[in-house]
Each structure stands twice: as C-alpha cells, then as structure tokens.
C-alpha cells in the first residue's frame, strides 16, 4: 500500500524546472544571478576556464579562470564576464560547461495593416503591434521554459501605464511575454482608434529582468530599450499613428528663395532705392519636426516730394503779412 502511494506521488510530482536551471552546454547571460549550473558538470569549489580566441582547449593554458563556490547559485557578474563572452569549460576537466552571452534587446512598433514599422503610409485607426529583436531567445532551451520573459511598457500621455492592450475585443498581456525567437512578432494587439486610448504621445519600451539581469546590468540595448529620449508613438489625429524619438532619415529639399526689399526715403525731394540681392541656398527639412514662422511687415509711410520747401514758403508769407499790418 505504501509503495503504491509512493509511486502515485512520484508520478504526480514531476521534477520541476525553472528559469534558473541551466542544462549542459546551455546559454547564460551577463547579469543573471541565482543560476543552478550543476547540470553543466561544475561542482562546488572547482574552476571554470575560458580560452582565448584560437586557443586549443585541450592543450593550451586558460586565459581566465573563475572559482565556483556554489553551482546552485551562480552569478554571471558583469565585472567578471563583461569582456569574456563565449564558451566556458570545466577545469581541469576541459569539458564545455556553458556559453556566456552579452544580452541584446530591441523593440520596434509595427503597423498591423502594412506589417511595417510605423511612419510613412499610416492612416487613422491603424492597429499596432510590436517586433522584439533579441538574443535572449536561447532561454527557451532551458527545461520547461517557454521563452525569455520580456515585458513591453506602454505609457499614455497622462503617465498611466498599460499592462495589456486590446484589439478586436481580444486582450493581450504585455507582461513577461515568452519570447522564443530572435525576431518575435506580437501581431496587431493595439487598436489605436478606440476611446480607451486617448490621443497624444505614448512612451513605449521593453525590458527583461529574468533572474535579476536588468537590476544587475541595466544597459540600453541589452536588458532594456528605455533611453533618455525613448520611443514615442503618436496616437490620434487624421494622419494615423506615427513614431518620434528615434533616429529618422533627414529629407533635404534644394531650391532658390528670392527676396527683394525696397526702402524708400525722402531727402531734399530725392528718392533713394536700395535692393537686397537675391539669396540662393539649400533648405534642410528634418522628418521629426517642422517649424513655420509667420511675420507681418507694416507698410512704409511716404511723403510727397517738396513737402518741406512748401511748408517754409507758407511760413514766410504769414510773417511778412504780420509785419505790414504793424507798420500801418
């Protein structure tokens, strides 16, 4: 009876796998901590070795050695492994234990109608999705792991952050998306024309904090895509979704701008006219912003020729009249 119960318990409780469990020849990433690398053949108190490029693993001396005190809680420290990516071997056994990679992470916002990055060609109401480009997909090779847990952040103009998005009545979570490919597409998950998404600029970024990697190695393009400028998605309006805050091509328009200014002044009944030469140049228009400045020029006031001379003559005649009257 006891044997039967024991067998049932064993059947009902399979060996659990976790994101921290690293298989033999598996991949680990700089910044991860608390990893269990026991399955790689590394034991407590032994060393792991790294060999220089082109070195013979079986005969050459290692270029770097690291002592592992606890293989059940291993830390891929940036200070230790930052410049030492690639294969690491048991030592002195010289058997491949695991591969260290520097994480990479990029996020693109995709127009669900055109399947292209948003920008040119967008129209009002186009649904949006996301494309994640990363090397973290190797986490899917760990036993029982569906993919690297990557979270997409969408923050609206008021500062509120969405943990899910809705498109066509389907709600999609943005938290810990299991990414199992180097290029991963969410599909169209964001209906930008619905009332729940107010018009304005939305900040968008992604990050991965698997096994504390972002906490330990917070680097843009590696564990997060959030930078000082960030990526802003403009939602609402008649032109459709657009994107700002990223590198955009510069559009250069070449043309000739001619301007002639005439200044008229009256001095001793002489008109002097000055003409500003025509200015020819290149106008540079950037795709990110356009500033149009409008100015109004007031009309010039012009006096008739001989105005001053006429005034003086009239004043003389008046003075002469007063003198004649006084003599009488």
pLDDT at position 321 is: 53
Which is higher by pLDDT, 321 or 52?
52
Which is higher by pLDDT, 174 or 242?
174
pLDDT at position 328 is: 47
Question: Is the predicted pLDDT of residue 310 greater than 50, yes or no?
Answer: no
Per the prediction, the chain carries an average pLDDT of 76
- As a whole number of angstroms, the distance between CA 255 and CA 246 comes to 28
State the DSSP H helix or E strand holding residue 138, giving kind and residue range, or none if neither: none
pLDDT band at 232 (very low <50, low <70, confident <90, very high): confident
Q: What is the pLDDT of residues 147-205, one digit of tens each?
A: 999 999 999 999 999 999 999 999 999 999 999 999 999 999 999 887 888 888 899 99
pLDDT at position 277 is: 40
Query: Could you tell me how many helices (H) and strands (E) the chain has, helices first?
Result: 4, 21
- As a whole number of angstroms, the distance between CA 95 and CA 45 comes to 16
Residue 120 and residue 146 in contact, taking contact as beta carbons nearer than 8 Å: no
Question: Is the predicted pLDDT of residue 224 greater than 50, yes or no?
Answer: yes
- As a whole number of angstroms, the distance between CA 191 and CA 76 comes to 40
- As a whole number of angstroms, the distance between CA 139 and CA 149 comes to 9
pLDDT at position 59 is: 95
Q: What is the pLDDT of residues 39-87, one digit of tens each?
A: 999 999 999 999 988 889 999 999 999 999 999 999 999 999 999 999 9
DSSP letters for 160-220: -EESEEEETTEEEE-SSEEE-SSEEEEEEEE-TTSTTS-SEEEEEEEE--GGGHHHH---B
Which is higher by pLDDT, 3 or 94?
94
């Amino acid at each position: 009876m006891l044997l039967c119960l024991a067998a049932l318990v064993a059947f009902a409780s399979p060996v659990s796998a976790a994101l921290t469990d690293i298989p033999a020849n598996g991949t680990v990433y700089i910044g991860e901590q608390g990893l269990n690398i026991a399955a790689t053949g590394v034991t407590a108190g032994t060393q792991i070795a790294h060999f220089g490029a082109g070195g013979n693993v079986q005969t050459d001396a290692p270029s770097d050695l690291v002592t592992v005190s606890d293989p059940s809680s291993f830390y891929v420290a940036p200070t230790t492994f930052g410049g030492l990516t690639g294969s690491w071997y048991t030592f002195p056994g010289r058997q491949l234990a695991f591969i260290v990679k520097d994480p990479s992470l990029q996020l693109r916002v995709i127009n669900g109608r055109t399947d292209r990055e948003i920008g040119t060609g967008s129209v009002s109401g186009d649904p949006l999705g996301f494309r994640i480009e990363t090397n973290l997909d190797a986490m899917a090779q760990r036993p029982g792991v569906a993919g690297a847990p990557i979270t997409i952040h969408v923050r609206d103009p008021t500062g509120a952050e969405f943990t899910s998005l809705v498109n066509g009545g389907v709600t999609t979570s943005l938290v810990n998306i299991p990414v199992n490919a180097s290029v991963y597409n969410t599909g169209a998950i964001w209906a930008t024309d619905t009332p729940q998404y107010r018009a304005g600029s939305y900040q968008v970024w992604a990050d991965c904090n698997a096994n504390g990697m972002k906490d330990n190695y917070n680097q843009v393009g590696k564990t997060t895509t959030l930078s000082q400028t960030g990526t802003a998605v403009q939602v609402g309006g008649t032109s459709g979704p657009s994107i700002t805050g990223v590198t955009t091509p510069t559009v250069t328009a070449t043309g000739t701008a001619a301007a002639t200014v005439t200044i008229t002044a009256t001095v001793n009944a002489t008109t002097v006219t000055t003409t500003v030469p025509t200015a020819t140049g290149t106008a540079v228009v950037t795709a990110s912003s356009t500033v149009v400045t409008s100015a109004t020029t007031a009309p010039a006031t012009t006096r008739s020729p001989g105005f001053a001379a006429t005034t003086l003559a009239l004043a003389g005649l008046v003075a002469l009249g007063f003198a004649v009257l006084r003599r009488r």
